Amino acid sequence: MIKAFIERVLPKKTAVRKEHSGKALGIHSEHMSKNAVYVCDKLQRAGFEAYIVGGAVRDALLGVIPKDFDVATNARPEDVKHEFRRAFIIGRRFRLVHVMFGDETIEVSTFRSNTVKTTDGSKGAGEVESDSTGRITSDNVYGTQAEDAARRDFTINALYYDPMRDVVVDFLGGLKDVQKRTLRLIGKAETRYREDPVRMLRAIRLAVKLKCEIAKTTAAPILEHADLIQNVPPARLFDEIQKLLLSGYANETLAALRKHGLAEGLLPLLDLIYKQPGGQKFIELALDNTDRRVREDKPVSPAFLFASLLWHKVTKRWSEIEAGGENRIPALMQAMEEVIDGQRETITLPQRFAGVTREIWLMQPRFEQRTSKAALRVVEQARFRAAYDFLLLRAAAGEVEQELADWWTNFIESDPDIRQELISQRQRAQARHTSPSGEGTGTDGPARRRRSRGGRGRRRDNEGGADSGGAGSADNA
């Protein structure tokens, strides 16, 4: 206890400030966002220190194009706000400033310290607060640049770039780790995971994304501390899992998480799905599809992704409720609500996604109705595209007949009069299959669904079938 206390209070031996020329390291202010450079320039002109920090510096050094930019400064949030026309102070856990430029936001944070002055749960004014497990619940303590470096997670995330002077500042050997492609936690791993269990997820996500090795001392404690994830507030977990799923490396990252013992309990819905026949293939296809889209810089929809992840839970409940005597559509609606409510405890699915997720699911039985005008109306639904992409995914996973998906592809690509003819053809085909009195009333769904379930997993050659839009277009979100 005392040792941990001293370790955190005293400045680290290794925290020596070293400056390196950006040019020699192969980075340049042109690799950075113009707006981030402008923010640094403006703050420096006002007499403050200001650096581009974290992921952007790391990515640029590793040859990855940075996607978002953070600035660290000794200016207080109010001072930062004062310098820019469109700047907003946000955050409770950390107070930061969002400086807005069109569709780019530069996140500006004041140098902070991670110095905990008490370890017995009591706290003084302005100190870092933690709960009984050691998790930091509030840390708005301002500090020096060296302290700011030490409170960051990994050494390669604690590099500062001054675009005006073209220098990289390193306190903790981050540059050496960049060169070795090693992801190493700053400080004692156990303590850092206790302070913020999300760092375990970040370690694995970043290692996969950056193709880095996780240092032994950073990787080893994960298995033992995996349980701490349960303490993370669901909204924060949702954000992190969304990042992970939309990283462009979702399948690979999930495999790595499982290897490190982090999938169990963390994503109970995923465990459940992986154990179901057919479920694993469905999820892998959904994630492959999303990964491909992210890497091609195409928009992806979190709502679509969550619809995919939870679908097998929904279909399982749906069958059970239907077997209990409920009608098909009300049974689906009940199953949907139960599933959405059920995972709220672990990962909060924000309402704005839940609405679209529901619509995607609810459209699925409607695709089975091809013998009436209903088919014409389905196409006009706002979520048609996302729901259709979802149908393609189900077909690729062998969950519904490929013929059904192909029929819809053909249908939406056809002119209105041809669409009418396609419906008439279905009606005639239906009439041939039913008894003379059983006319096609648009109920070719339930029977079809039951028949087609046996075909699950048979159509491996159809994997590409879900490619036509996959994770849905941006307007699905």
417 carries an active-site annotation: no
DSSP secondary structure, 27-70, as one string:
--GGGS-HHHHHHHHHHHHTT--EEEETHHHHHHHTTPPP---E
By a kind-dependent CB cut-off of 5 to 8 A, residue 194 interacts, out of Mg ion, ligand ATP, none, with none
Q: How far is the CB of 68 from Mg ion (least distance, A)?
A: 5
By CB under 5 A, is residue 55 in contact with Mg ion?
Answer: yes
Q: How far is the CB of 196 from ligand ATP (least distance, A)?
A: 5
| Nearer of residues 156 and 354 to ligand ATP, judged by Cβ | 156
| Nearer of residues 71 and 321 to Mg ion, judged by Cβ | 71
- Residue 213's H or E segment, with its range, is strand 213-214
Handedness of CA 300, 306, 310, 311 (dihedral sign): negative
Backbone φ and ψ of 57, nearest 5°: -65, -45
Are the CB atoms for 265 and 343 separated by under 8 Å? no
By a kind-dependent CB cut-off of 5 to 8 A, residue 152 interacts, out of ligand ATP, Mg ion, none, with ligand ATP
Binding segment for Mg ion (CB under 5 A), chosen from 26-34, 47-55, 291-299, 430-438, is: 47-55
By CB under 5 A, name the one of 20, 49, 64, 68 that touches Mg ion. 68
Which residue of the set 59, 148, 153, 389 is catalytic? 153
Distance CA 411, CA 292 (A): 26
Strand duo 70-73 + 104-110: pairing: parallel
| Nearer of residues 253 and 364 to ligand ATP, judged by Cβ | 253
Q: How far is the CB of 4 from ligand ATP (least distance, A)?
A: 17
Q: How far is the CB of 54 from Mg ion (least distance, A)?
A: 6
Distance CA 422, CA 39 (A): 59
Which residues make Cβ contacts (< 8 Å) with residue 334, sequence separation at least 6? 317, 321, 326
271 carries an active-site annotation: no
415 carries an active-site annotation: no
Q: How far is the CB of 104 from Mg ion (least distance, A)?
A: 13
By a kind-dependent CB cut-off of 5 to 8 A, residue 375 interacts, out of ligand ATP, Mg ion, none, with none
Distance CA 472, CA 477 (A): 8
By a kind-dependent CB cut-off of 5 to 8 A, residue 196 interacts, out of ligand ATP, Mg ion, none, with ligand ATP
What residue is closest to ligand ATP based on CB? 55
| Nearer of residues 113 and 402 to ligand ATP, judged by Cβ | 113
Q: How far is the CB of 324 from ligand ATP (least distance, A)?
A: 44
- Residue 198's H or E segment, with its range, is helix 198-210
Binding segment for Mg ion (CB under 5 A), chosen from 21-29, 48-56, 128-136, 412-420, is: 48-56
Distance CA 323, CA 27 (A): 63
| Nearer of residues 138 and 473 to ligand ATP, judged by Cβ | 138
Q: Which residues bind ligand ATP (CB under 6 A)?
A: 54-55, 68, 70, 152-153, 157-158, 196, 198-199, 202, 243
Are the CB atoms for 246 and 302 separated by under 8 Å? yes
| Nearer of residues 200 and 396 to ligand ATP, judged by Cβ | 200
By CB under 5 A, is residue 239 in contact with Mg ion?
Answer: no
**Closest of 14, 49, 68 to residue 160, by C-alpha:** 49
Q: Token digits for 311?
A: 């679908």
- Strand-pair partners of 90: 96
Distance CA 66, CA 59 (A): 5
Number of shown-chain residues binding Mg ion (CB under 5 A): 2
| Nearer of residues 97 and 310 to Mg ion, judged by Cβ | 97
Residues carrying an active site annotation: 68, 70, 153
Footprint of Mg ion on this chain (CB under 5 A)?
Answer: 55, 68
